[in-house]
A and B are shown apart, each in its own frame.
Chain A
Amino acid sequence: MATVAGVGASPTGRAPGSVVLRRTARRTIRSGALWGFVFGAVVISSAWSYSGIYRTQAQRTALATAFGSNRTTIALFGPAPHLDTVAGFTVFKTLLTLTLVGAVWGLLTATRMLRGEEDTGRWELLVTGATTRGRAAGQCLVGLVTGVAALGAVTALLLVVAGRSSRVAIAPGAGLFFALSLSAGALMFTAVGALTSQLAPTRRQAAGYAGAFLGVSYALRLVADSGTGLHWLVWCTPLGWVEELRPLTTPRWLPFVPILIFVVVVGTVTVGLAAARDIGSSTLPDRDRAEPRLRLLGGQVGLSVRLVRPTLVAWAAGLVITGLVFGLVAEGAGRSLAGSSVRDVFARLGASGSGASAYLGVTFLIEAVLLAFTAATQVTAARSEELEGRLDPLLSRAVTRLAWLTGRLAVAVVALAAGATLAGLAMLAGTVAGGAHLGAGTIVGAGLNTLTPALCVLGVGVLAFGIAPRSAAPVVYTVVAWSILVDVVGGIGGIDHWLADTSVFHQMAPAPSVPPNWQAMGWMLATGIAAAVVGCAAFVRRDLQDA
């Protein structure tokens, strides 16, 4: 591990005391910059497509009347006061969504760099160098902040450059303020992740606590924006502060005060807790002991179920919640859609019907993306079992490689099918409660329609795992990210047909607005199965590759 070689010895001549900072910064700046690029691209594409689709003032006013006062969409995505302007639409569409993405990125990065490093024992190596526990945590925090800064800087750069275009039209100053606002969520939840890394004994739990805090923040903001006279609650949640920055439309600096106080206080508490506790321990009591639960441990398939269960339950919960929420608003959204030209946008994403079914066609696309990510996590989970050497105790016993990998795959396929069904059922429950009547079979069928892209991703992941295990994670996440990118860009317009066809989401028909495309499903399934078969065959024949 080349990164550890610098501890103490400092062959580079740089101060050995700052090794944690440099190490953290190096690893977070890259991913921060990447997400900054995504943020910038999403904002620009929103502005670009808006000014392309809503050319006349009449169209814009229609949109503003349809969405601007829709309580449900405001509760979900934040207030939409200036939908008749490019800026207003862009903020409505991107601010809260990207803030949530940034918050998840921040909390995952922070828990990985702090608790994750401690879990693997690498933190101990670093802290026994020329530093202390508290100082190392402080340096790690500063390193993480540089990652957030990279995110903000790249976003700002893209906004300032593209803002000169008349179709985007964002002034440099406004672009900078927007980039700052978009980074605020990532910054605050990086701090939260750092704090929960001190509280919780494992990375998974630390991310879980931070995620729960994000959920509460979102729920508070949702209540604040739902027009029940509780709007003051918006000042009680980090996501509310970001919303109150009101970038592009009516920017205000005041909410940066609570944001900065929050970050400084949480950061200080983190460093204090890190200095006060022992390495490898946690501030909250750890349950190191447990009664044996042997039900699933009768064989390696049961073990696979037990190992992936927590992750799969979390993903399933995400699918169900999104399904419920989107189902609930489908009728209202569909009605406002019917009379407006928003339908054009949806049509470009392939949802050609009208009303609630067109709306659901696009929302099932989101479910398909979530499901494909779930499939990707199953590939990386299998790889990490091999990488960490936990396959050895199984494969040196009476377990064949083929049995292990196919068992693992079967668990993933069953879980994905259950996820797709649950998403459909949740959407159905939502539509029934929300008053949209589309037919149970149609909606549940549309849920199952999202399964094929996920299975295709799973198969391609197994192929990479079998042939080049070290590339499994990058390959499988690239397939998903590429598919999203192509489908979104393709949705905005102007993309070659053959390029669009490389996206698994483009291949999927946006049911229920149109019937499932059986032929495309067949192709995707065949590709997935063929890739999985080749991957399994390659895995049986290759060397195990531990760390």
Chain B
Amino acid sequence: MTDTPVIRTRGLSKRYRGTDALVDLDLEVAPGEVVGYLGPNGAGKTTTIRLLLGLIRPTSGTAQLFGLDSLQDAVAVHRRLAYVSGEPALWPNLTGAEVLHLLGQVQGSVDLVYRDDLVDRFALDPSKKVRAYSKGNRQKVVLIAALASRPDLLILDEPTAGLDPLMAHEFRSCVLEAKGRGQTVFLSSHLLSEVEALCDQVGVLRDGRLIEMGTLAAMRHLSAVTVEVSFDGDAPDLSAVDGVLSATANGRHASLQVRGSMDPLLQVLAGSHVRQLRSRDPSLDELFLTLYGDVGATSPRAG
């Protein structure tokens, strides 16, 4: 039984009026894993999550959580998970404390000591009414409610969208604690750094299709690194160096795309008068371009 995947989808698809929001998703998440779910806006991240939660119905395919059907056994499934939406909508006339109480009651299980601790850590003022909260504060209420129920599975949809860097950091340590306790985490995000800091596995979604699933390091390997070099004199021509995919020189400055080993480039640069050398990991966009070519890049979709 312990081998039952926490999340398993088979051919999960959703079509809205002729547009494919999600196509044939086969996803498997093992217990205790922290999985990042990456993709640009409208890629189908939220659609996937709403399908997993049974809030919408698949056009075809199935989703199972803890080995149970996400639609038939929705309540049994929901008792073991907690969901944080990226656009939390709460009741404007209820205070933070009232919402936390209600959500705990509706969930059925809540660790009150941990909840009070989280309220302190996220510096939330629970006596305020929801309508007086900023978006970040509403997000904190939902996050605290979710974490305090200590669920087997946390489903987080862009949970740090409204949080300031300090609180985003606090959030990360909470997720790492959850991971330490063996909880499974499904984190949808478009922030590469967040996913990088937290996740073992990464799925990349584009135009409703899962185009890559694996570790981030393995994925990085596929992609080029951007290297920016400033010289004391004019920039030499570096386009012929091994591993350099493309090079553009602009006076004393050169910008390069490098894949694979850096060694040949460093050998060449050692002979030049380098003033400054900066290398940058591929951005999410660049990663996508590598993973997916240019296909679809010119057809932004809504949803």
Question: Would you call A396 and B101 a contact (CB within 8 A)?
Answer: no
Residue of A with least CB distance to B54 = A395
CB of A229 to closest CB in B, whole Å: 46
A-contacting residues, B82-119, CB 8 Å: 82-83, 85, 87-95, 97-98, 101-103, 105-108
Chain-A contact segment, one of B22-30, B128-136, B261-269, B277-285: B128-136
Task: Judge whether A124 is part of the interface by a CB distance below 8 angstroms.
Answer: no
A289 to B126, alpha carbons, bound, how many Å?
9
Q: With an 8 A cutoff between CB atoms, is B142 at the interface? A: yes
Q: Does A299 contact B (CB under 8 A)?
A: yes
Which 7 residue pairs are nearest across A and B when measured between Cβ atoms? Answer: A389-B89, A288-B132, A543-B56, A292-B97, A396-B83, A297-B102, A397-B106
Q: A289-B127, A293-B98, A398-B106 are in contact. List 5 more A-B contacts (CB 8 A).
A: A289-B128, A292-B127, A299-B105, A392-B89, A397-B108
Q: How far is the CA of A324 from the CA of B3 in the complex (A)?
A: 69
* CB atoms of B78 and A303 under 8 A apart: no
Can you sample 28 A-B contacts with CB below 8 Å?
A201-B131, A202-B131, A288-B128, A289-B127, A289-B132, A290-B95, A294-B101, A297-B101, A297-B102, A299-B106, A303-B102, A306-B94, A389-B85, A390-B90, A392-B89, A393-B88, A393-B90, A393-B145, A394-B106, A396-B55, A396-B81, A397-B106, A397-B107, A398-B75, A398-B79, A399-B106, A543-B56, A543-B57
CA distance A292 to B105 in the complex (A): 15
Would you call B105 and A396 a contact (CB within 8 A)?
no
Query: Which chain A residues in 265-292 approach chain B with CB under 8 Å?
Result: 286-292
CB distance from A230 to the nearest CB of B (A): 40
Would you give the shortest CB distance from A316 to chain B, in whole angstroms? 19
Q: Mark B220-247, 1 if CB is under 8 A from A, else 0.
A: 0000000000000000000000000000
B74 contacts chain A at the CB level, 8 A cutoff: yes
Is the pair B55, A395 in contact by a Cβ cutoff of 8 Å? yes
Q: How far is the CA of A288 from the CA of B145 in the complex (A)?
A: 21
Given A307-B91, A396-B78, A400-B74, answer yes or no on A292-B128 (Cβ-Cβ < 8 Å).
no
What residues on B are CB-neighbors of A541 within 8 Å? 57
Whether the pair A288, B106 counts as a contact (CB closer than 8 A) is no
A263 within 8 A of B: no
Whether the pair A544, B74 counts as a contact (CB closer than 8 A) is: no
Query: For the complex, is B53 an interface residue (Cβ under 8 Å from A)?
Result: yes
> Does A249 make an interface contact (CB < 8 A)?
no
How far does the Cβ of A125 sit from chain B's closest Cβ, in whole Å? 15
Closest residue of chain A to B83 (Cβ to Cβ) is: A396
Compute how far the CA of A112 lies from the CA of B181 in the bound complex, rounded to whole angstroms: 49
A340 within 8 A of B: no
Question: Could you tell me which B residues sit within 8 Å of A by CB distance?
Answer: 50, 53-57, 74-75, 78-79, 81-83, 85, 87-95, 97-98, 101-103, 105-108, 126-129, 131-132, 142, 145
**Listed residue (A292, A307, A397) with the most chain B CB atoms within 10 angstroms of its CB:** A397
Chain A residue at smallest Cβ distance from B53? A396
How many residues on the A side are at the interface (Cβ–Cβ under 8 A)?
35
Shortest B55–chain A CB gap in Å is: 5
Q: Which residue of B lies closest to A396 (CB)?
A: B83
Interface centre among A119, A293, A389, A396, by most chain B C-beta atoms within 10 angstroms, is A396
Contact present for A286 and B132 (CB under 8 Å): yes
Complex interface: chain B residues within 8 A of A298 (CB): 105
Taking the complex as formed, is A300 at the interface, i.e. its CB lies under 8 A from any CB of chain B? yes
Question: Is A344 part of the contact surface with B, judged by Cβ < 8 Å?
Answer: no
Q: Distance (Å) between the CB of A195 and the closest chain B CB?
A: 21
Q: In the bound complex, how far is the Cα of B242 from the Cα of A189, in angstroms?
A: 78
A392 to B108, CA, bound (A): 16
Chain A residues whose CB sits within 8 angstroms of the CB of B107 once the complex forms: 397-398
B interface footprint on A301-345 (CB within 8 Å = 1, 0 otherwise): 001001100000000000000000000000000000000000000
Question: Which chain A residues lie closer than 8 Å to B79 at the CB level?
Answer: 398
CB within 8 A of B92: which of A202, A398, A544? A202
Task: A300 to B91: give the CA distance in the assembly, Å.
Answer: 12
Bound Cα distance from A482 to B78, whole angstroms:
43
Contact between chains at B105 and A297 (CB < 8 Å) = yes
Report A218 CB to chain B, min CB distance, Å: 28
- Determine if A292 and B56 form an interchain contact, defined as CB atoms under 8 angstroms apart: no
**Residues of B close to A389: CB separation below 8 A:** 85, 87, 89
> CA A289 – CA B129 in complex, angstroms?
6
Question: What A residues does B85 contact at CB under 8 A?
Answer: 389, 392-393
Q: Which residues of chain A are within 8 angstroms of B91 by Cβ–Cβ distance?
A: 303, 307, 390
Chain B residues near A306 (CB, 8 Å)?
A: 94
Q: How far, in Å, is B162 (CB) from chain A's closest CB?
A: 13
Pick the residue among A286, A297, A394, A400 that contacts B98 (CB under 8 A).
Answer: A297
* Residues in A whose Cβ lies below 8 Å from that of B74: 400
Chain B hits for A543, CB < 8 A = 55-57
Q: Which residues of A are found within 8 Å of B88, using beta-carbon distances?
A: 393
Chain A contacts of B101 at CB under 8 A? 292, 294, 297
